[in-house]
Structure 1
């Protein structure tokens, strides 16, 4: 489904929203790129399945939470179901923003807009 010309993006169908439960994911291929489609609460996210560290299939990693900044000997857990951990080296990324949790120099996952239209999932590229 094309949305127009110029800088407008094209919508690519990748599956049905009803097939991806809350907290779930689906790995798809669009335009030669492998993407992870994630359903978190009432939001949808699409991330390229390539870790910026070592090109691992990051979207196949564990979805979890992480330790939050806290005092010495205090271990506060947070961001439950909002962290994607790379399966190769454990790098953690915020599923809502794509940002690496420990790096402050702009390391992040490459993301794409997701639209749900009549139960169909589309990725805008």
Structure 2
């Protein structure tokens, strides 16, 4: 697997996202309260730019009129047809057994831990004073 520096931690504040291109693939990087997750920027239903969709939570109900809101800002809703996907796992909330968007493993690493030969992103500066978000493909 090749490692790619995709952003500094400071570039993606909590609750935000950044869409990057790595080896010709668009990937959305999400910061969920200090935890970083990456999913493909393509809805498996019809191919929309999934990561540009609204970030939402989960509305659950055990009976009519008894609703609760959980998992605040942990789902992304496709901008075309409203399909919702778990940012942490890529699973669909419409059909979780069969439909999933590709997710990627991410790591946080100190800038000083990265060797120059491992840096692949051309658009991000190298700095040992900040932490970097690193994706593996």
- Which band: TM-score by shorter chain? 0.7 to 0.9
Q: What's the counterpart of residue 12 of structure 2?
A: 20
Determine which of 84, 92, 116 is the counterpart of 2:108.
116
Tell me, yes or no, if the aligned pair for 1:20 and 1:39 is still in contact at 8 Å: yes
Normalised by the length of structure 2, the TM-score is 0.80
**For 2:61 and 2:25, how far apart are their aligned partners in 1?**
35
CA radius of gyration, larger in: 2
Structure 2 segments unaligned to the other structure (5+ residues): 111-130
Q: C-alpha displacement at 1:105, in angstroms? A: 2.5
Residue 41 of structure 1: CA displacement? 1.8
Instruction: Provide structure 1 residue ranges, at least 5 long, that are not aligned to the other structure.
Output: 1-8
Runs of 4+ in structure 1 displaced over 6 angstroms? none
User: 1:96 aligns to what?
Assistant: 88
Q: Supply the distance in 2 between the matched residues of 1:17 and 1:106 (Cα, whole angstroms).
A: 33
* Paired residue secondary structure (1:70): strand
Moved more, 20-29 or 67-76: 67-76
Structure-1 separation of matches of 2:37 and 2:49? 16
Let me know the Cα RMSD of the aligned residues.
Answer: 1.2
**Between Structure 1 and Structure 2, how many residues are aligned?**
117
State the Cα distance separating 1:58 from its structure 2 match: 0.3
Instruction: State which of 59, 65, 68 in structure 1 corresponds to 2:57.
Output: 65
